[in-house]
Chain A
Amino acid sequence: MSTWAIRTPGTLMALALALCLISGGGATWAAIHQPWIGLRLAPDADAVRIVEVAAAGPSRGLDPGGRLLAVDDVALMAEDAIEEPDTFETYTQHGRFLERQGRLHRLLQHGAVRLEMRTASGQAQAMVVRPVPRRPPASLPMVFWVQIFSGAAGLLIAAWVWALKPRDDAARLLALSGLGLILSAHAAAIYSTRELALDPALFNALSVLNHVGAMLFGAAMVGLFLCYPKRLVSRRTLLGIFLVLAAAPLLDLAKGVLTPVTAFYAPIAIDMVLILGLIGAQWWINARDPRAMAALRWLGLSVALGAGAFTLAIAAPLLLGFETAVSQGYAFTFFVLIYVGLALGLRHYRLFELNTWAFRIFFFMGAALSFLALDAALIWALHLGQGSALGLALAFVIFLYLPLREWLWRRTVGRREVAEQDLVDGVTEAALAATTAERVEKWEGLMRRLFDPLEIERVEAKLDRPDVGLEGLELTFPATSDSPALRLRYPWGGRALFSPAHLALARQAYTLLGRLEVGRDAFVHGAMAERKRIARDLHDDVGARLLTGLHEAGPETRPLLRAVLADVRAIVGGLTGERRPLALVLADLRFETCRRLDAVEIAIDWPVPEIEVADILLDYDHYKNLSSAFREVISNLIRHAGATRAEVMIHQGRDLAIEIADNGRGLAPAPEGGRIGHGLRNITERIEAIGGALVFPPREVGACVRITLPLALPPVPGMPEIMQAS
């Protein structure tokens, strides 16, 4: 097979089209080149009924509705007008039928014949009719063309799929089944729409072709499901099974043992059972692969319905001994339905919309079939007349079945209603959580709740709204203002694909988040603007007046006012939400202290570490209180200590420890009350309020103050976490 040079899809399609045209043309030619007496006949109870008389045909003048009793000397039996000779009970019957076909055909070929009939009213009538050698194409019934076109459509669809994947086993098998279909359909078209008789040799040949085609179709379908979506057996086994099934026509040779019905329809039924079984096996095996499952659904759905309907409509009644409900010719359209589904599945067409479609189709077909079944049951089991059975069945469907369908629809496909409230709550939480980390976490949590994916990946993606990829296997969300772009895969634990409904839900979520973010930002921005305004007013107006006051004040009040100014500065800093690095706070304090002590000629010894220490950011509370406390201690030192030298030691470990010592008068023995004064008591409280401690370690000379502040501080809600010191 690999030495075949013709490869392009176009060529293969052209080939298939050519085959269709040749076959269709040939069938039409064969059907037309038959003697024609201008009648349409049908089997009826024990005679042949004249259904229609062609107005311009050789038999014009005959009344329709009557029964054709004999042609020349051949008395007619109902079975002479039978559509499908396979329905004979015994081979003897079949042989007799063919023999009579031969006689009738010869008669019609040789010239005028005498038709004997009984009219609908019971009157006997006879007429001599001269058959025309060729049948006008217009006289070919609709069911002829239906079979021709069904066969052709089937082959073309199958060829299309094969042309796109010529080496694929599944596609090849599909193409084979298409071939079988067109053979079977076109052969049946010719003999099932004959006026009355065909040459038996032709008839036999067409019968054989029909069987071969049908078996080829069945075997190929079995083979298809043996290797699609997943190969179940080795190639050799596949070939073996295929050949065995395709050889079923040989059963025809066992004329002694079987009946025609069994010989033909039993293999069909067996094939059907095998196909259903294999579909089930493939379903079970591919449970973890959502795309294979989706493709299978298209396929399995259409096969089950199409072939099932065919079996129901044709084969089952025949096997049970009833008449077939529908002309066999129309049944071929069922198979075209299968082909459409196959093609869609093999081409991975719109897999992610599949669930919705599968559901719709399934339920529609289910309704139609159960309606038919109910109708049949009512007629057969309850012996109702056709009219009342129809009415009852229809009523049943409307009142019971349709609501059932609604309910099931909502349960399986309409999952999004349950999700919508979740959606609003979840998105709101994600947009308005306090910190960036929390927002990212809540957003991802929402993804999990909505879609339960096996994987969530942070990716770089330039999208402006969520999109589905890989035929529904993955969904990608664009980046939000906090979170990077996210890619979700294998939703619902890998048991399903993303559908259009889910995509819509995702887009809704994303849009909602965007709007909430805009609102949040506007709010934050507004709040910031408000605070900045307050800060500015404080800074400019209050600061200016304090300054004036400072210069009017006496020496006792000035330190107080300076402290107030420093407080105002810290408050302004706090309002604008600034966080200061500890290193900078200490540097500022050092700078200020050195200048102050320098101005009053107190020597200062404050070692600065060689290397930068790790960054710790202080939020407003800690920075302000620490600075105020330090400043106050220095002020006290300047005013009261009477010292000539000061030392500052800073130690940064789990806690921050600042020690300020001097060589002055020292503190009074009892630290509470007295010399300590308001200032120190105030700052002690402040330091304690932020979780620290202010103590006075004893010294031989001078005073010492130690401020300790734990740096392992819990994050202040609404602000980013404080980074830890090592």
Chain B
Amino acid sequence: MNTISAGAARRTGLVVEDQPKIRDWLCAVLAETFADMDVVSAHDLRTARAWLKDHGRACEGFNLALVDIGLPDGSGIELIKELAALHPGVVPVVTTVYDDDGHLFEALAAGAQGFLLKDEETDTLAHSLRGIERGEPPLSPAIAHRILKHFREQAKPAKDAISLTGRETEVLTLLGRGLTIREAARRLGLAENTVAGYVKTIYQKLNISSRAEAALEAHRRGLV
């Protein structure tokens, strides 16, 4: 595990991935894309949690965690939940092979702010990373459909339930048809940043909404 030089106000990138070749590759891409980023890696949950316990609080600025779902000692989704709850300074991004993976949606609902496909070309990956840095997380049509379905099938809205605004639904629908953010922005007559901002909000709402649902479910089952 690499160490950070103490006191430097540098950004940190954490790569949690059990396959060594892929781990190295992701670290390399991170280092290349963000010049001022210290990249650390962990090969399982335990190591990742240990690192976070020691260094999680000290992160400033924009910090990234690339988390694989299938880890040897558990699911990366747990880690994403912990990151979202305990380390707000670290942006969790889930990495996966397939973008229609059922777990992917779960990870996003758990608080991941975007996803990366591990089989993409390096350039595309770098492109996506920069987008995430700008606050424009990627959203594939399949994910867009899933999110729309999630909010459509939500239980009857309670008085403080989360739901999408009309605009957000429009954006999701357009993205669901395969438009890029730029094209969607043009179609809606908005700035690209604005639409990208919507995507970010949508992810956040998804996270909140599914946490609320989980709490409700637990309550209903008498577990709370």
Contact = CB atoms under 8 A, between A and B. Distances in A.
Contacts of A304: none
B124 A599 contact: yes
Contacts of A566: 119
Contact of B177 (A539, A551, A583, A600): A583
B21 interface: yes
A608 B21 contact: no
B22 interface: yes
A599 B127 contact: yes
Contacts of B140: 588, 591
Interface in A504-557: 539-540, 543-544, 546-548, 550-552
Given A584-B145, A599-B121, A547 B19 contact: yes
B177 A596 contact: no
Interface in A341-379: none
Nearest to B23: A551
A595 B179 CA distance: 11
Nearest to A594: B180
A63 B21 CA distance: 131
A544 B19 contact: yes
Contacts of B142: 584, 588
Contacts of B124: 595-596, 598-599
Nearest to A604: B180
B176 A587 contact: yes
Contacts of B127: 595, 598-599
A547 B98 contact: no
B62 interface: no
A623 B118 CA distance: 22
Interface in A579-611: 583-584, 586-591, 594-596, 598-600, 608
Contacts of A587: 141, 176-178
Contacts of A561: 119
B119 A588 contact: no
A548 B119 contact: no
A587 B142 CA distance: 8
B160 interface: no
A550 B119 contact: yes
A699 interface: no
Interface centre among A551, A584, A600, A608 (most CB of B within 10 A): A551
B100 interface: yes
A42 interface: no
B89 interface: no
Interface string A563-589: 001100100110000000001101111
B135 interface: no
Interface centre among B123, B177, B179 (most CB of A within 10 A): B177
A587 B183 CA distance: 13
A608 B173 CA distance: 12
Interface string A194-233: 0000000000000000000000000000000000000000
Given A583-B177, A587-B176, A594-B180, A562 B119 contact: yes
Contact of A608 (B100, B145, B177): B177
Contacts of B19: 544, 547-548
Nearest to B96: A543
**How many of chain A's residues touch chain B, expressed as a range?**
20 to 34
Interface centre among B22, B101, B121, B178 (most CB of A within 10 A): B178
A589 B179 CA distance: 11
A586 to B, nearest CB: 6
B218 interface: no
A588 B21 contact: no
A586 B178 contact: yes
A588 B98 contact: no
B197 interface: no
A367 B29 CA distance: 102
A548 B121 contact: no
A591 B179 CA distance: 7
Nearest to A613: B177
Interface in A48-71: none
B178 A608 contact: yes
Nearest to B99: A588
Contacts of A558: 121
A547 B178 contact: no
Contacts of B178: 586-591, 594, 608
Given A548-B22, A552-B21, A591 B119 contact: no
Interface in B121-139: 121, 123-124, 127-128
Contacts of A548: 19, 21-22
Given A540-B70, A552-B21, A596-B124, A547 B177 contact: no
Interface in B164-220: 176-180, 183
B98 A551 contact: no
B50 interface: no
B141 A547 contact: no
Contacts of A590: 141, 177-179
Interface of B: 19, 21-22, 24-25, 70, 97-98, 100-101, 118-121, 123-124, 127-128, 140-142, 145, 176-180, 183
Given A551-B21, A562-B119, A608-B178, 4 more contacts: A552-B21, A569-B98, A588-B142, A599-B121
16 contacts: A539-B101, A540-B70, A544-B70, A547-B119, A550-B119, A565-B119, A569-B97, A572-B98, A584-B142, A584-B145, A584-B176, A588-B140, A588-B142, A590-B177, A590-B179, A608-B178
